[in-house]
Copies of this chain bind each other. A is one copy, B any other.
Amino acid sequence: VKIRVLGSAAGGGFPQWNCGCANCSAARAGSANVRARTQESVAISADGDSWFLLNASPEVRAQIESFPPLHPRATRHSPIAGVVLTNGDLDHCLGLLCLREWQPLRVYATAAVRDGFMDDNALARTLQRFDGQLHWLPLVLGQATPLLRADGSASGLTLEAVAAPGKLPLHLEASRAESAEDNIGLWVRQEGSPHALAYFPGVGAYRPYVFAVLERAAACFFDGTFWSSDELIRLELGGKRAEDMAHWPVGGADGSLQRLGGLAQVARRILIHVNNTNPLLREDSPEHTALRAAGVELAYDGLELEL
């Protein structure tokens, strides 16, 4: 599997438009120890020809331009054969509305995520300009789904949706019932390869069954949103704890780093969906040093790997 990180920040990006915290200020000042990041999205491909986006960030246009294999190869064309959604958060879905201009689009998502996006959403009609423009393919928990090339043939990649502790998107909390399908991780395999990718950008808490998946992967991306539970509270940026937003903090005795550090058999363990306030974003921070000491990496825009 060819993998390219298009964006590695949580919703709002880094720096965030209305944030002047130390991290955001350092990024704007061009500090050598801090890299700006767009919002989380990863491109994957079996053959380097057909590509799939894991989540469609609001910044998808710039992200496509940043990676030449995603550029069109004809007057009207896109090598992007499909988009996979891990939940209905706006930082994962808003980019769908930018992938219009009369281009057919396959979107892989659970029924809950699909309905959360399509119900009560007149904006989505921009993707329904002709019959078949928007084609939803269902992800069912625990069931393998082949990713298709634009011509409908098998791309060589299959994925399986794994329920992950999460929550409804903020804008749907009052209107929809919760479901185990609201937030998923992905188990991605390439035909003929023993090496799997686990993609879990949002994980609200420790679950043994999630780690039973991770430990079989050759590489995993994992929720790196917050370092600590009270990160926003201490910066006086809001009254919510990380867990209230369904993000398991990385740091501390009960943090995800303790668990991820133990997965030495997973060659690449990479944090993604990093919030602008996370001290990991400063590469000279003690938190970043602790991360590297545990054998865990921090995703950045442009990171590539191949399994």
Chain A residues within 8 Å of B, Cβ to Cβ: 11-13, 15-21, 24, 28, 36, 58-62, 64-65, 68, 71-78, 90, 94, 97-103, 116, 119-126, 129, 169-172, 174-175, 235-238
Given contacts A18-B76, A18-B101, contact A59 B60 (CB under 8 A): no
Which residues of B sit under 8 angstroms from A36, Cβ to Cβ?
A: 65
A228 smallest CB distance to B (angstroms): 17
Q: Are A20 and B72 in contact (CB under 8 A)?
A: yes
Q: Are A97 and B90 in contact (CB under 8 A)?
A: yes
List, sorted by A's number, 26 A–B pairs whose CB atoms are closer than 8 Å: A12-B101, A17-B65, A17-B72, A17-B78, A17-B101, A17-B103, A18-B72, A19-B72, A19-B101, A28-B71, A58-B94, A59-B62, A75-B235, A75-B236, A76-B237, A116-B122, A120-B121, A121-B121, A122-B172, A122-B175, A123-B123, A123-B171, A124-B171, A125-B174, A125-B175, A126-B171
Which residues of B sit under 8 angstroms from A12, Cβ to Cβ?
A: 61, 100-101
Q: Are A90 and B18 in contact (CB under 8 A)?
A: no
Q: Are A122 and B20 in contact (CB under 8 A)?
A: no
Which residues of B sit under 8 angstroms from A78, Cβ to Cβ?
A: 17-18
Which residues of B sit under 8 angstroms from A170, Cβ to Cβ?
A: 125-126, 129
Complex CA–CA separation, A279 to B78 (angstroms): 22
Q: Are B126 and A75 in contact (CB under 8 A)?
A: no
Complex CA–CA separation, A237 to B75 (angstroms): 8
Closest to A15 in B: B65
Q: Are A20 and B90 in contact (CB under 8 A)?
A: no
Q: Are B60 and A17 in contact (CB under 8 A)?
A: yes
Q: Are B122 and A77 in contact (CB under 8 A)?
A: no
Which residues of B sit under 8 angstroms from A28, Cβ to Cβ?
A: 65, 68, 71
Which residues of B sit under 8 angstroms from A121, Cβ to Cβ?
A: 120-123
Complex CA–CA separation, A71 to B30 (angstroms): 14
Complex CA–CA separation, A170 to B100 (angstroms): 11
Complex CA–CA separation, A175 to B60 (angstroms): 28
Q: Are B123 and A90 in contact (CB under 8 A)?
A: yes
Complex CA–CA separation, A12 to B98 (angstroms): 7
Which residues of B sit under 8 angstroms from A175, Cβ to Cβ?
A: 122, 125
A34 smallest CB distance to B (angstroms): 14
| 9 A-B pairs with the lowest CB-CB distances in the bound complex, closest first | A125-B171, A20-B72, A120-B122, A126-B171, A18-B78, A18-B103, A17-B64, A12-B101, A20-B75
Q: Are A75 and B125 in contact (CB under 8 A)?
A: no
Closest to A102 in B: B238
Complex CA–CA separation, A86 to B21 (angstroms): 33
Which residues of B sit under 8 angstroms from A68, Cβ to Cβ?
A: 28
Q: Are B238 and A99 in contact (CB under 8 A)?
A: no
Which residues of B sit under 8 angstroms from A101, Cβ to Cβ?
A: 11-12, 16-19
Complex CA–CA separation, A21 to B237 (angstroms): 45
Which residues of B sit under 8 angstroms from A59, Cβ to Cβ?
A: 59, 61-62
